Amino acid sequence: MDPRNNKGISVFQLLGFSEGPELQPLIFALFLLMYLITVFGNLLIILAVSSDSHLHTPMYFFLTNLSFVDICFTSTTIPKMLWNIQTQSKVITYKGCLSQMYFFILFAGLDVFLLTVMAYDRFVAICHPLHYMVIMNPRLCGLLVLVSWIMSVLHSMLQTSMVLRLSFCTEVEIPHFFCELNQMIQHACSANFLSNIVLYFAAMLLVGGPFIGILYSYSKIVSSIHGISSAQGKYKAFSTCASHLSVVSLFYCTSLGVYFSSAAIQSSPSSAVASVMYTVVTPMLNPFIYSLRNKDIKEALMRFSGMAALKGTIIWVLKKCP
């Protein structure tokens, strides 16, 4: 294959998970189900928090933003994969591939930053409970989310612009179900050492930095909880951050697992299977983690479902009445 300029590239081939056509209906049904659970689960969290005035606090403000980002994060990859399976096509255009990569990096970065902001929120709530509402005022909460968006957009623009500098061959087959940054770099025909250094340095900085922030916040939280004398007080303090800690552990463990597995097996389709853990499974499980381990969310969901059922009943009765 002869290297060509990017202008000569029209399409990429997303090989996905399996070459066998007999497995495609099963893969389609499985991913459609996981996608619907992710969208409706996170949407339910957003609606429940928005409809309950008791949950209009910084913690749940960040949670609704995380749920929205998780919906967008999953929507950058799964619908295109489902469309390719349904149409029996593996093609994605060059512009489409770059767009998908841009939004994937954007929402992945937002996930990282929002989890860090939520860790800071728990740190203030547990270590400085008397000053919590003063410190975590609406202006600061909005500013933290805004900064998260700005940093994620800049990071995504940097990564995408560096990929634009690379040259690709006339036929590019990506053994993945979406245009992942690492796969794009591996399949570039041009050797650009400086671009690779910039790409990986930016990724490590914007993932490692927030991770250190999360570790610092939880080290202070553990120290503060350790200083509480009663067992009931310790349990109550820990329960306020248990859901967030579960989500952070799931996100970082799956992400690091995918990173190390892809480094070991290179471009094998197994790396695509491993990527499902943090691109699909983690956003799908987040609503369950927060609803099952959080009494306030469970009560809000019950109230919301009750109001929705009551509203539906009233509408049905009005339609039946002459």
Q: How far apart are the C-alpha atoms of 260 and 266, rounded to whole Å?
A: 10
Domains and CATH numbers, the chain: 11-319 (1.20.1070.10)
Q: What is the pLDDT of residues 123-133, one digit of tens each?
A: 999 888 889 99
CA angle 182, 183, 187 (to 5 degrees): 120
3-state helix, strand, coil in the chain (%, to 5): 80, 5, 15
Mean pLDDT, rounded, for 247-259:
78
The mean pLDDT value of the chain amounts to: 80
The answer, yes or no, to whether residue 6 has pLDDT greater than 80, is: no
CA angle 65, 71, 73 (to 5 degrees): 95
Q: What is the pLDDT of residues 154-209, one digit of tens each?
A: 989 988 888 888 777 766 777 778 888 777 777 777 656 666 777 778 777 887 88
The answer, yes or no, to whether residue 314 has pLDDT greater than 70, is: no
Mean pLDDT, rounded, for 63-80:
93
Burial of residue 135 (number of CB atoms within 10 Å: 0-12, 13-18, 19+):
middle
Question: Please, are residues 10 and 53 in contact by the beta-carbon 8 Å criterion?
Answer: no
25-29, 111-115, 179-183 — which is least confidently predicted? Answer: 179-183
The answer, yes or no, to whether residue 308 has pLDDT greater than 80, is: no
